[in-house]
Structure 1
Amino acid sequence: MPVYRDDAHKTWYYVVNFYDASGKRKQKRKRGFNTKKEATEALRKLEVQFNEGTYVESKNISFNQYIEDWLSIKKRSLSNSTISLYERSIKNHISPSLGNTLLSKMKPQHIQKFLIGMHEAGLADASIKRIFNIVNVCLNDAVNFGDLPSNPAKKVEKPKVLPKEMKIWTVDQIQRFLKCSNYHRMYCIFHLAIMTGLRKGEILGLLWKNVDLEKQVLYVNQTLETDGKTFKTGAKTKSGVRSVTISPSTKEVLLKHKEQQNAEREYFASEYGDLDLVICAENGAPYHPRNLTRTFNILTKKAELPHIRFHDLRHTHAALMIAQNEPMKLIAERLGHSKITTTMDTYGHLFPNMQRDASNRLDQTIFGELD
């Protein structure tokens, strides 16, 4: 399968001969690669499709068939929760609107009409953007595989999502919630969320072997997915695999929680499914994220506090760190952000107060002794 240089345009292209399903000999060529390496890699991907029997000429395939074939390959690198999200989006939104369009005939107008339809159906901006991104990535891959000359979605204005107002609790509200939930079996979850900033899946996937109570450090290296059954090694991002120090009070909460868990293990005996989870159901099974959300909402209402999401406890933790003037790098590391800019972009609106305090301290430093 040779790769050639197009001297006239100073680019590279490949030519490949193959036989279709009917045994008819055909030829496929793809031009416009900037380097020989790019053309060779694209050709190798095509060769894999030929060998696996998954190649279908783009001019004869509907977008519905193409995106389903694309997802079947993509699944190898996606989490179960992401696969479920993609499948729902394709079934409920993408296929009904774009499914019957031939891939080779896909135009920007089709994408634009698709976006308008979702807006008219009342979908949230965030949902529209997420669904659009699935289509966009699929079409990008179609270009990379040589099935499309260009991505029509790139010629359409991408959906925008206005940032939601961040809801956090004050110190008084935190204290009221912790006091109200102190009796609850799952108190440890709420304490960990507020005191460490861990995500829901990170807390529900935490193992005792990754908690060093003596050194007061816990290690995040697996998460429980939204299905409440599957554990994913690693974290949401590469930097999400991290160590997080815990306070003396958190250590005591964990010790008390472990005593309670040991009693449950003894009670259930052989029926106890010991997965070494810090947070689990009474019989040792994973604690379902939906149950956590339900419990958190009930306790929030009981404490007569403003409604916030469980995830907002993570934001509350970050806000408390900022209020204490902790170094931004430290905050980013605790939250598992790969870049400090991510932390700054997320919590930048909390910085004006810090700047005012800094200005006041500078005023005191320079002019304080002149009073």
Structure 2
Amino acid sequence: MARVTVTPGDEPAKGKGRSRRNGEGSIRQRRDGRWEARVWVYATNGSEVRRSVYGSSWDEAHAAMIKLQSDKMAGVRIPASGDTVRDYFDYWLKHVAEPRVRPSTLSNYRRLTSAYVLPYIGSKKLSQLRPADVRTFLNRLKGVCQCCALGKDRKRVQHGASARCCAAVPVACCGNFLSDGSVRFAQRIVRAMLQDAIVDELIATNPARHLRISHRYRPKFTPWSAEEAQRFLKAARGDRWYALYSVALALGLRRGEALGLRWIDVDFVENVITVRRSLQRVDGQLVLGPVKTDSSDRKIAVPEPLARVLELHRADQVRQSEIAKQWTDHGMVFTTAVGTPVEPRNLKRHFDRLCDKADVPKIRFHDLRHSCATILYDQGVPIENIQDVLGHSSPTITKTIYVEATRKIQRDAVDKLGFLFDD
């Protein structure tokens, strides 16, 4: 079939023709019968490239060409890179994410992307990724058993354990599905990566920016009441980590912040603790790194009773170092029996045993922070001051996360309208 070149809006006239202006575009019929329109457009790297669009008729190809020309006039640029999502993720983790996030966060990024993100969308061209691709990937994450996806059962079998999931014959999935929090975390990583791809001028729009998926925004939790907190501390009195639980509950420190405290951070003259470091396990190693955010780097006033607890704890630590056969001094406030930093995961088992001893509801160690916020509000502390203690960047974050305290605020507010009603 002969090729025919036409200008927009004009069918080819027999025996006649006219020259096309620069950038006007052209339409021709291909050998397969489709019509192809070609237009010069701008790429994200600033170069001018020729882009083809197709239609089953001349009118369809012409309409597609007009849209390309309109986008060009509006300043829209087309992607210029042929990288896959996996290619850019490797670059992004090393050159973009690593300089701006904590080592523990970066380790979680790498673990989550390698296990859940790249197997689904890693082979797709970055420039061809669409919102439907990201939505499908997130929806599939919810139905994937972690044990099967990560091959945990096969690893257990290799170490002599019996198969109970994907390695069993016949296969019997254990249903260890990814939590809503992990799915939400994966969504945030992909969205942030694609946003930086726009900054790097590799794509024009972020296909994950406006996506909404159906999951709970945050997990529910039940903080302790003031009476339960008192009962727990009373049961923990005499325990070697009594001071640790006291600091976490009274000051709302995160687990890593509490375990990362050094004696140089404790001012017994002014009764102030400076929170500037966090102990985290990163790639199998305990690392003392920066706190979670800029606002988490803070100074907190210490009540007099808690200051006395810390002074007694320091005296006990000195005595323990003197009688220990081996002691490695790291200058840490909370240590093991030989002076080394405390393994965060070991703390959980110890904490659970104390909860049983005190006969209080079992909660996460992090929920001591939540309990601190609720108890502070119960004592009449404004939400803005609670924000300062917890190290949030705004009161809105405090209200959003610490739901129980917010409910009490609402209850107190509506109770003030009780005068409107008769007895």
Q: TM-score normalised to the size of structure 1? A: 0.77
Contact 2:181 2:219 in 1 (8 A): no
Equivalence for 1:97: 120
> Structure 1 residue aligned with 2:257, among 194, 202, 205?
202
Pick the aligned partner of 1:214 from 256, 269, 292: 269
Per the TM alignment, residue 329 of structure 1 is displaced from its structure 2 partner at its CA by 2.2
1:106 aligns with 2:129: yes
Distance 1:256 1:338 in 2: 33
Cα pair 1:140 1:151 within 8 Å, conserved: yes
Matched, 1:72 2:72: no
The code of the aligned residue for 1:298 comes to R
Q: CA RMSD in A?
A: 2.8
The CA deviation at 1:104 is: 2.4
Correspondent of 2:216 among 139, 161, 166: 161
- Kindly state the Cα deviation for residue 159 of structure 1 after the two structures are TM-superposed: 5.4
Q: Which residue of the partner structure matches residue 26 of structure 1? A: none
Distance 1:249 1:145, change over 3 A: same
1:295, CA displacement in angstroms?
Answer: 0.9
- The one-letter amino acid of 1:76's match is P
Does structure 1 residue 231 correspond to structure 2 residue 288?
A: yes
SS for the counterpart of 1:153 is coil
Distance 1:320 1:242 in 2: 20
Counterparts of 2:94 and 2:380, CA distance in 1: 48
Equivalent residues of 1:325, 1:354 under 8 A apart: no
Aligned amino acid, residue 312 of structure 1: D
Q: Is the 8 A contact 1:272 1:283 kept in 2?
A: yes
**Distance apart, 1:13 and its partner CA:** 7.6
CA 1:153–1:341 in structure 2 vs 1: closer, same or farther (change >3 Å)? Answer: closer
Seq. identity, %: 29
| Aligned amino acid, residue 263 of structure 1 | R
Conserved in 1, the CA contact under 8 Å of 2:98 and 2:106? Answer: yes
Matched, 1:340 2:395: yes
Aligned equivalents of 2:191 and 2:206: distance in 1?
8
- Counterpart of 2:329 in structure 1 is 274
Q: Match of 2:369, SS?
A: helix
* 1:185 matched residue in structure 2: 240
Give the alignment partner of residue 311 of structure 2, picking from 231, 255, 272.
255
**CA distance in structure 2 between the aligned counterparts of 1:67 and 1:179, rounded to whole angstroms:** 50
Q: State the Cα deviation string for residues 19-45 of structure 1 (Å, max 9, x = none).
A: xxxxxxxxxxxx8998xxxx9xxxxxx
Secondary structure (helix, strand or coil) at the match of 2:329 reads coil
The 1:70/1:356 distance shift into structure 2, 3 A limit, reads closer
Aligned residues of 1:208 and 1:276 also touching (Cα < 8 A): yes
2:240, 2:200 → 1: CA distance? 53
Q: Deviations over 1:34-66 (max 9, x none)?
A: 8xxxx9xxxxxxxxxxxxxxxxx721x322122
CA shift at 1:165, angstroms?
2.6
Give the Å deviation of 1:117.
0.8
TM-score normalized with structure 2 length: 0.68
Indicate which of 350, 354, 359 corresponds to 2:408: 350
Contact 1:129/1:159 (8 A) holds in 2:
no
AA aligned to 1:231 is L
Q: In the alignment, which residue of structure 2 is the partner of 1:323?
A: 378
Alignment equivalent of 1:283, drawn from 338, 342, 348: 338
Aligned residue pair count:
316
Give, as a single letter, the amino acid of the residue that structure 1 aligns with 2:216.
V
Deviations along 1:296-342, whole A, 9 cap, x unmatched? 11111222221111111111111111111113222111111111222
Distance verdict in 2 for CA 1:14–1:163, change over 3 Å: closer
1:96 CA drift (Å)? 1.0
| Counterpart pick for 2:106 among 56, 60, 83 | 83
Contact preservation (8 Å) 2:252, 2:390: yes
Give CA deviations for 1:334-369 in whole Å, capped at 9, x if unaligned: 111111222233331121343367668xx7xxxxxx
Contact persistence 1:13–1:33 (CA under 8 A): no
Distance 1:33 1:283 in 2: 67
Gaps of 5+ in 2: 1-41, 49-71, 145-176
State the 1:85 CA deviation.
0.7
* 1:260 Cα deviation after fit: 1.2
CA distance in 2, matches of 1:170, 1:209: 32
Check conservation: 1:273, 1:285, Cα contact below 8 A. yes
Separation of aligned partners in 1, 2:74 and 2:196 = 15
Per the alignment, do residues 63 and 245 of structure 1 end up closer, same or farther by CA in structure 2, a change over 3 Å counting?
same
Q: State the structure with more CA Rg.
A: 2
The one-character-per-residue Cα deviations of 1:42-93 (angstroms, maximum 9, x if unpaired) are: xxxxxxxxxxxxxxx721x322122112111121222121111111111111
Could you tell me how far apart the structure 2 residues matched to 1:243 and 1:62 are? 45
Q: Secondary structure at the match of 1:223?
A: strand
SS in 2 for 1:169: coil
Paired position in structure 1 for 2:170: none
Deviation at 1:133, TM superposition (A): 1.2
Q: 2:44–2:201: 8 Å Cα contact kept in structure 1?
A: no
Q: Which has the higher helix share?
A: 1
SS of the residue corresponding to residue 209 of structure 2 reads helix
Q: Tell me the secondary structure at the aligned position of residue 278 of structure 2.
A: strand
Aligned to 1:28: none
Provide the rounded CA distance (Å) in 2 between the counterparts of 1:14 and 1:134.
Answer: 24
CA-CA distance at 1:293 after TM superposition: 1.4
